[in-house]
Structure 1
Amino acid sequence: MMRRRTTLLAGCTALVLALGATACGSSDPVSAGGGAKALAGQTVTVAGVWSGSEQKNFQKVLDAFSAKTGAKTQFTSTGDNVSTVVGSKIEGGNAPDVVMVPQVGVLQQFAQQGWLKPLSTTTQQSVDTNYAPVWKNYGSVDGTLYGLYFKAAHKSTVWYSPDALDQAGVTPPTTYADLLKAGHTVSDSGLAAFSIGGQDGWTLTDWFENIYLSQAGPEKYDALATHKLKWTDASVAKALGTLGTLFKDKQLIAGGQKEALNTDFPGSVEKVFGPKPQAAMVYEGDFVAGVAKDQFGKTIGTDANFFPFPAVDGGKAPVVSGGDAAVVLKDGKNAKAGMKLLEYLATPEAAAVWAKAGGFLSPNKELDLASYGDDVTRATAKSLVSAGDSVRFDMSDQAPAAFGGTKGAGEWKLLQDFLRDPSDPKGTAAQLENAAAKAYKG
């Protein structure tokens, strides 16, 4: 459980561990560089996928680091293809010092290519103290910690319009069977139950992963995520069949399968929270709230709320996460200062900067929940941190990009095909195994 209150002594202890502080209680805590303004005159270059409001809010974190250390920072948005952009920068002799990596598979790729520096002892101590072990595991390759998870996503949240559910007389369900039953009740009231953004294949992988984790359990989830279990295992076809029950029910999906395949993720949120609602619920991560609030002016907790993705077939309710891990490149011109940035990012102080700005969850269990701006975000953050080691990282993000992260190919395309025609779960499982085998071999 995350503590709601942090005493001055505990706060100083955390800072001593994370920043190497020697003076506690002063009005200007000792900087991450080991002394006030210790990095003055130095510049730390950072690359990551973030743009728009995410980039703007992360810049606030970088500015706070600058204020503490005197270092300047320079952020470059890479777009979605981090691996290609960073690889080309390394080859061109212009490697950034720090990269915010959005996929476990990419972090592993960087480490295996020898691009990364192991994290400092100070950062490792912070991770051991402030994070559940699962986050250390996902940041490590062959037992060496390379990645610090700074920003997390909670991908086991079903977002809904309270008015729509109230009008249908429906309360948030706790089992998948009740979810479909509630969906039929909603649709009988004149509004489709679910909006699905099938044009973006990654949303479909998230549906599958939540069902699979709850139905098959964490051991099989871990084995499938690393391809130690083949996709032809009976558990995969079973989960696909469970998902197919929803996909083939035209009464439940706004516009049916065809419209779902022509709806991207923002469009799926619009169908629930936009000016002309077409559905009552949309499944996706906590970031749905940001779209509902920023694009459609919804008040989170009043006009938009969530319930946990329900348990499937008697299993435990799943907690699937994603996140962005900070890594330090060996070839960066100022990797030493980059490592000091990670020491700062490992502190609850750094996480609080973005938490206050919104659109952010931290896996750092020492971050005071009061740092978040609304009760719904606090509830989401509490759910993520309280899950501890039962959290499982997004399966497709753990896979090679050719299978789990490429538009029009691999898992994304095959699940889109399955949405179009969910009649043959075993056949789809066989196709997934064929694509996975090629990607993992490559």
Structure 2
Amino acid sequence: MMRRRTTLLTGCIAAALALGATACGGSEPVAAGGGDKALDGQTVTVAGVWSGSEQENFQKVLDAFTEKTGAKTQFVSTGDNVSTVVGSKIEGGDAPDVVMVPQVGVLQQFAKKGWLQPLSKPVESAVDAGFADVWKKYGSVDGTLYGLYFKAAHKSTVWYSPEALTQAGVEPPKTYDEMLEAGHTVSDSGLAAFAVAGQDGWTLTDWFENIYLSQAGPEKYDALAAHELKWSDASVVKALTTLGKLFEDKQLIAGAQKGALNTDFPGSVEKVFGPEPEAGMVYEGDFVAGVAKDQYDRTVGEDADFFPFPGVDGNDAPVVSGGDAAVVLKDSKHRAAGMELVEYLASAEAAAVWAGEGGFLSPNKKLSLDSYGDEVTRATAESLVGAGDSVRFDMSDQAPAAFGGTKGTGEWKLLQDFLRDPSDPKATAAALESAAAKAYRD
């Protein structure tokens, strides 16, 4: 995999693919299942894409597990290429016990290769009791539960500068048409409406997915995600036409198409929340807040806020999500201890550890909203959990990497081409279908 969406960026950190610190408990440990130090002396190795502050915050969750069970933990940061790194470790006889898998497609790949241990009955019971059915569906392959979604992203949030919208005299819009209308008003006041991160193809897939889910509905979304519906379908052409109206409007996009194609995700956040703003709004997931807060010292809820991605053509507002699922590898040395860790991660107690640190959403409806540190994050979490089974997982994350997850090819490149010239949605849809057919066939 060539990209990571729910992990906050900074490629310089990704280069340091080193082992995380080993965590040891300090107080009298009690086993998660109620026994006495059942895992004392064992070390659970966990692999995942997280680095920087995300890795540090996850380590606090692992530390809490240590105090509860006596097990030590060791975190290995894989970078974006999770499947390659994990595959090489399995072949070398050094499989981690638990992997935090960032895409549905990768989870399915691991399961079909026979790498995964089905999750235990206690985990399945916790999922049934605390999670919407859709999360169990995305964690399962052929009816068997392999993945527990611990961390989620809400990818239907439009972030804005309250100062910019107030100066333009506009309120957060309720419909897609109102959003474009508000964008023109913002533009008339001196700023572009949107900063679009066209240099990163994954952001463009997210734009498309939100429009498509609202406009075409969840059934067609599911069919297109599974390639049971062709990308040349009229519903795809319609969504591209809607998206094209934004892309072609030079008033709405900072720097117009050329500027967008030269803007990466961090740059798009900077254009709204940096020291010299160029736009009033930026669409992306809840993780925008972390960049605005950490990089530009914005106070979330005061000078950085969001509104839900609005419904299109009078339809319901979409809720697109992503997430990281904990899986247990069959060939690991401490598989039973790894399963104990996943049982712990399925609890509201574990989720509360990271929720209190920020930069985290849980799909676990048993986690109290009071666990989150600010009102904006609470509102985002409430929207995600409240959407229940209407949540849909990021479509490109469900696709083969050759189509939905590789820089310079497939959906990423074709939507960048469409941003450059959105004049022929039907031709773009046909090109998407050609690329998808090849990727799903291979």
Is the TM value for this pair above 0.5?
yes
Alignment partner, residue 289 of structure 2: 289
Alignment partner, residue 411 of structure 2: 411
Distance 1:114 1:177 in 2: 47
Alignment partner, residue 200 of structure 1: 200
Q: Is the 8 A contact 1:152 1:363 kept in 2?
A: yes
Distance 1:77 1:424 in 2: 42
Distance 2:393 2:106 in 1: 13
Alignment partner, residue 324 of structure 2: 324
Query: What's the TM-score once normalised by structure 1's chain length?
Result: 0.93
Instruction: Provide closer, same or farther for how the CA distance between residues 277 and 269 of structure 1 changes in structure 2, counting only shifts above 3 A.
Output: same
* 3-state SS in 2 of match to 1:84: helix
- What's the CA shift for 1:288? 0.2
* 3-state SS in 2 of match to 1:159: strand
Q: Is the 8 A contact 1:36 1:68 kept in 2?
A: no
Q: How does 1:34-53 map to 2 (within 5 A)?
A: 34-53=34-53
Alignment partner, residue 436 of structure 1: 436
Amino acid paired to 2:66: S
Distance 1:33 1:407 in 2: 44
Cα distance per residue 1:300-330 (max 9 Å; x no partner): 0001000000000111100000000000000
Cα distance per residue 1:249-283 (max 9 Å; x no partner): 01100011111111110110000000000000000
Alignment partner, residue 264 of structure 1: 264
Distance 1:29 1:134 in 2: 34
Question: Is 2:85 the counterpart of 1:77?
Answer: no
Distance 2:233 2:217 in 1: 14
Q: How does 1:29-428 map to 2 (within 5 A)?
A: 30-428=30-428
Distance 1:93 1:423 in 2: 52
Cα distance per residue 1:124-178 (max 9 Å; x no partner): 0000000000000000000000000000000000000000000000101111111
Distance 1:28 1:87 in 2: 37
Q: Is the 8 A contact 2:30 2:67 kept in 1?
A: no
Distance 1:210 1:186 in 2: 22
Alignment partner, residue 7 of structure 2: none
Distance 1:206 1:28 in 2: 46
Amino acid paired to 2:153: A
- What's the CA shift for 1:33? 4.6
Amino acid paired to 2:145: L
* 3-state SS in 1 of match to 2:89: helix
Q: Is the 8 A contact 2:43 2:71 kept in 1?
A: yes
Distance 1:420 1:351 in 2: 41
- What's the CA shift for 1:36? 3.5
Cα distance per residue 1:28-84 (max 9 Å; x no partner): 895325423221100000000101110010000001000100101010111111111
Cα distance per residue 1:378-437 (max 9 Å; x no partner): 000000000000000000000011111111111011101110111110100011001101
Aligned Cα RMSD in Å? 1.0
Structure 1 gaps of 5+ residues are: 1-26
Q: Is the 8 A contact 1:47 1:78 kept in 2?
A: yes
Q: Is the 8 A contact 1:46 1:73 kept in 2?
A: yes
Cα distance per residue 1:209-257 (max 9 Å; x no partner): 0000000000000000000000010000100000000000011000111
Distance 1:292 1:141 in 2: 37
Amino acid paired to 1:96: P
Distance 2:379 2:342 in 1: 27
Query: What's the TM-score once normalised by structure 2's chain length?
Result: 0.93
Distance 1:339 1:403 in 2: 33
* 3-state SS in 2 of match to 1:406: coil
Q: Is the 8 A contact 2:28 2:67 kept in 1?
A: no
Distance 1:58 1:240 in 2: 38
List 4+ stretches of structure 1 deviating above 6 A: none
* 3-state SS in 2 of match to 1:307: strand
Distance 2:30 2:388 in 1: 31
Q: Is the 8 A contact 2:29 2:69 kept in 1?
A: no
Alignment partner, residue 10 of structure 1: none
Q: How many pairs align?
A: 416
Identity of aligned residues (%): 81
Cα distance per residue 1:178-226 (max 9 Å; x no partner): 1100000000000000001111110000000000000000000000000
Amino acid paired to 1:255: G
Distance 1:363 1:337 in 2: 24
Distance 1:110 1:192 in 2: 44
Distance 1:45 1:440 in 2: 33
Distance 2:36 2:288 in 1: 39
Distance 1:158 1:404 in 2: 22
